[in-house]
Amino acid sequence: MTDRPLVGIDDIDRAAERIAGVAVRTPLVTCAVPQRRPGTLLIKPESLQPIGAFKLRGAYNKIASLDPEQRGRGVVASSSGNHAQAVAYVACTLGIKATLVIPEGAAEIKIAATRAYGAEVVLVPPDQRDTKPLELAAEHGYTLVPPYDDPAVIAGTGTIGAEIAADLPDVDLVLVPVSGGGLISGIATAIKTRCPRARVIGVEPELAADAAESFRRGQRVEWSPELTFRTAADGLRVAVVGELPWLHIQRYVDDIVTVTEEQIRDAVRLLARSARLVAEPSGAVATAAHLAHPELSAGGTTAAVLSGGNVDPAQYIEILRG
C-alpha cells in the first residue's frame, strides 16, 4: 500500500466553503429512546440533503474542483445508488456529462433517481462495479469520481464532522456507518482535531463486516459480493475499505462494531417514530449501534450519523409494520 498523505482539517474547511449553498448544513435532532439508559442521542440527518444522502458533499467537492478540460470530458463513477445520485445531481447542476456504473440488484428507487438527473446508467454484475468505471474512463477520457477512496471526497464528507464539532463541542461519542470508509475518514479527522476527547466508532451490518474484521486484524480484509449482498443495507455492501480511508481509520477511529438485520430494522422504526426521520437501512446502522451496544455511550452525549433516507417505499412500509 502506498503511503498517501492524509486529509487534514484545512482540506475539510476548504471543502465547507466550496459546498456552502449546495449541501444542506444539517441540524442535530434529538431522538428519544424509551426505557433506555441515561444519556442523549442526537441524530445528524443527512437524509435531508437534496439527493437524500451525505454523498452530495464529497461528490460536489470533487467535481467542482475539476478544471474546465476535465469537466468537458465528463465524469464516471461506481455506486450502489447514493453516490450515483450525488454525482448525477452535481453533473446536472454544473452541466457535465455523467456516466454511473451501478451493480445489478441495487435499489430501483436509486437507479431511477440517478437517471432522472440525466445521467447514463450502466448496470453490471457486482464483481465488475470497480473495474467497469476504469474501463470507461480509459475508453472515453472521463474523470473518475471515486465514492470514497479520494482526498476531495473524504474532505467533503468531513464537513459533517466539522458541523458536529461546531454544534456539539462536548460530544462524547460519534457513531458513523462504514462502507468504503470515506464517510468515517472525513468525520473522524474533523472530530479528533476539533473534539479530541470524543470517540469515533464505525458501524457495519454483521453480514457485511469487512471493515470490522479489518480493524480487528490490523489489515484490510476483502469480503465477496456473495457475503456482503446478504444485508438489506445496500449502501454498505462494499467488499473492502479503500486504501486512503484505511489510513484514516487506523489513525483516528476508536473501534468498529456490527449490528444485526433486526437491529437495523428496529433503528429504522425508532427514527421514524421518535425523530420523525426517514432512514434507509444503511442510514440507520449508527442508530442501531446505539440501541444494540449501550456500553458504547456510557450515559454520555452521542451523535449518530443518519447517512441516507433513499429507501424503497414498499420495503419501508414492511419495516414499519414490524
How far apart (Å, rounded) are the C-alpha atoms in residues 111 and 88? 11
From the list 39, 247, 12, 245, the residue with the least C-alpha distance to 149 is: 245
Q: Are 292 and 35 in contact (CB under 8 A)?
A: no
Would you state the torsion angle of the CA atoms of residues 308, 313, 315, 317, taken in this order, to the nearest 10 degrees?
Answer: 110
Cα(178)–Cα(155) distance, integer angstroms: 16
In angstroms, the CA 186 to CA 117 distance is 27
Task: Please state, in angstroms and as integers, the Cα–Cα distance from residue 296 to each residue in 123, 150, 241, 250, 265, following that order.
Answer: 39, 30, 23, 19, 20
**Cβ 174 vs Cβ 165: under 8 Å:** no
Residue among 44, 55, 62, 132 flagged as catalytic: 55
Question: Please, are residues 54 and 179 in contact by the beta-carbon 8 Å criterion?
Answer: no
Classify burial at 88, counting beta carbons within 10 Å of its beta carbon; exposed 0-12, middle 13-18, buried 19 or more: buried
- Distance, in Å, from the CA atom of 66 to the CA atom of 152, rounded to the nearest integer, reads 10
Residue 274 falls in the annotated catalytic set: no
**Going from the N-terminus, what domains does the chain have, and what CATH number goes with each?**
9-53+150-321 (3.40.50.1100), 56-144 (3.40.50.1100)
Would you call 307 a catalytic residue per the annotation? Answer: yes
In angstroms, the CA 159 to CA 153 distance is 10
Rounded to the nearest angstrom, the gap between the alpha carbon of residue 68 and the centroid of all alpha carbons in its chain is 28
pLDDT in tens, the chain (322 residues): 457 899 999 999 999 999 999 999 999 999 998 766 668 999 999 999 999 999 999 999 999 999 999 999 999 999 878 999 999 999 999 999 999 999 888 888 889 999 999 999 999 998 898 899 999 999 999 999 999 999 999 999 999 999 999 999 999 999 999 999 999 999 999 999 999 999 999 999 999 999 999 999 999 999 998 999 999 999 899 999 999 999 999 999 999 999 999 999 999 999 999 999 999 999 999 999 999 998 998 889 999 999 999 999 999 999 999 8
**Which is the catalytic residue, given 79, 282, 297, 307?**
307
At 132, list the grid cell: 467497469
**Cβ–Cβ < 8 Å for 208, 223:** yes
